[in-house]
Structure 1
Amino acid sequence: MKIAILETGRPPARLGGAYPGYGRMVERLVGPGHAYATFLTDRGELPEPGAHAAYLITGSPAGAYDPDPWIGALIGFLRDLDRARPVVGLCFGHQVMAQAWGGRVVPSEKGWGLGLHAYAVAETAPFLDSRDPIAVPVSHQDQVVDRPPGARTLAGSAFTPHGALLYGDRAALSFQCHPEFEPDFARALVAGHRAAEADPAFGRAALASLDRPHDSARVGGWIRRFLDGAR
């Protein structure tokens, strides 16, 4: 499958370039067997419509509601996209898909989610291996608070009710969490994060949570099977 990765951000400069970009992280998560092309969407790059079989949208420090021209262009791209063309979003990708297709995203009054978060799986789908809960790294304050019409909540928690969305009226799947984040990167992201510095106890708890087993590879398998089923 020819897949376009829409890279909407990159690791913080404070990490000194020690980690791969978000596009490369997503590529590693989904794995081999596909032809990937990365577009720096936060710098104005978007693929030609119809040139790729599927689209993966990365995380970003931006908000899906921000007035930046590139966000408006991405939302327009998503609205014009063939509904049968598979789209997968992670964190900001999850949010901008919801925003584009009639949902609502806001900065959560619950504050920042950092570390390893668990989601209960609320729905069944052909690409799932089971309905067992998942625990995956997160780094977000914004959340989807209203689902778009036709979307179902696949997984979530009390902190993040719409943690994963499955779209019934288009070939789309999105996650608020970051299955593409390896544990060492997730730890580096928490260490020095402004929310962790503002509340050291919160930061210590977030770091400690990342020592527990995680289900990132399992979620990566869901994404692979979702894309394979859309071929």
Structure 2
Amino acid sequence: MPPIRLAILEADTPVPKTHAKYSGYLGVFTHLFTRALSDSPHPLSSILQITGHDIVQNPDSSYPSLDSIDAILITGSKHNSFDNDYWILKLVEYTRKALLHPRVKAIGVCFGHQIIGRALGCLVDRSDKGWELSVTETQLTDAGKKFFGRDTLKIQQMHRDQVYSHPANSLLLASTEKCPNQGFLIPGRCITIQGHPEFTEEIMQEILELRHGTGLFTDEMFENATSRNGDDHDGVFVTKAFIKFLQEPVEEKEL
């Protein structure tokens, strides 16, 4: 079986030290998928053929033809998924086309989760409960328990926006007190997660320190988030579930 052709749609540039280490979100997610396959007898290249696409700087030329790929993964971003900047509208349009394609699957992470929700007609906006930061336990729904095979997931969080509903034909996967929609699934078509499985302790700490330094995060927010930061979370476990999802047959669904 040939490798799955996965296009990483890079919706932002990582913070400076992270960017220098990984050379963009393509590198961050390649590192994540490599760790998720560390116990596999097969190398990453035989399972996934990963390409990166800068959709912010090059919105008119960076998108791959949907006929040339098997799946997209939309990354997180500092930008607002509900804004109407040209590149964001272009992304929503492309995502909608991908979701309607008979073969292409979609994965959404944080901003990407929100973009997929928006493309499917859901309201995306600021949360009135503020920021959700650092390693946080999410409660899985019955569908989430069935999909992941456990009752809860701990995942890195870095958001203050949310998808206020989930598509009518989708399964809600998880919730927290601050964010009722922590991800949803349309079997064989798309899966989303509000958290950041790709964030290591090092990546999260750099973001916390930068945003605390600018005054965006108060001392209390920074100290609380730092106290919960670490690599004791389920990011790699979630990514293994992503791979399993990508390997499953595409299902015909009305979107």
Does residue 1:51 correspond to 2:54, yes or no? no
Indicate if the aligned counterparts of 1:139 and 1:177 stay in contact, CA closer than 8 A: yes
Question: Do the aligned residues in 1 keep the contact of 2:18 with 2:203 (CA within 8 Å)?
Answer: no
Report the counterpart of residue 152 of structure 1 in structure 2: 171
Corresponding residue of 1:70: 87
- Which of 6, 10, 18 is residue 7 of structure 1 equivalent to? 10
Give the gaps of 5 or more residues in structure 1: none
In the alignment, is the contact (CA less than 8 A) between 1:7 and 1:58 conserved in 2?
yes
Bigger mean CA deviation after superposition, 72-81 or 118-127:
118-127
Q: Is 1:185 equivalent to 2:185 in the alignment?
A: no
Question: 1:198: Cα distance to partner?
Answer: 4.2
Give the secondary-structure state (helix, strand or coil) at the position aligned to 2:142: coil
Residue matched to 2:51: 37
- CA shift, 1:105, in A, is 0.6
1:26 is aligned to 29
Q: 1:144 to 1:125 in 2, by over 3 A?
A: closer
What is the aligned partner in structure 1 of residue 37 from structure 2?
Answer: none
Q: Percent identity?
A: 25
Conserved in 1, the CA contact under 8 Å of 2:29 and 2:198?
A: yes
Q: How many Å separate the matches in 1 of 2:5 and 2:89?
A: 25
Secondary structure, aligned partner of 1:128: helix
Give structure 2 stretches of 5+ with no counterpart.
35-43, 251-255
- Tell me what 2:186 maps to: 167
* TM-score, scaled relative to structure 1: 0.91
- For residue 234 of structure 2, what is the aligned residue in structure 1? 215
Contact 1:3-1:53 within 8 A present in 2 as well: yes
Q: Which amino acid aligns with 1:173?
A: I
Mark the CA change 1:83 to 1:106 in structure 2 (over 3 Å): closer, same or farther: farther
Give the total of aligned pairs: 229
Q: RMSD in angstroms over aligned alpha carbons?
A: 2.1
Structure with the bigger percentage of helix: 2
SS of equivalent residue, structure 1 residue 193:
helix
More off after superposition, 92-101 vs 213-222: 213-222
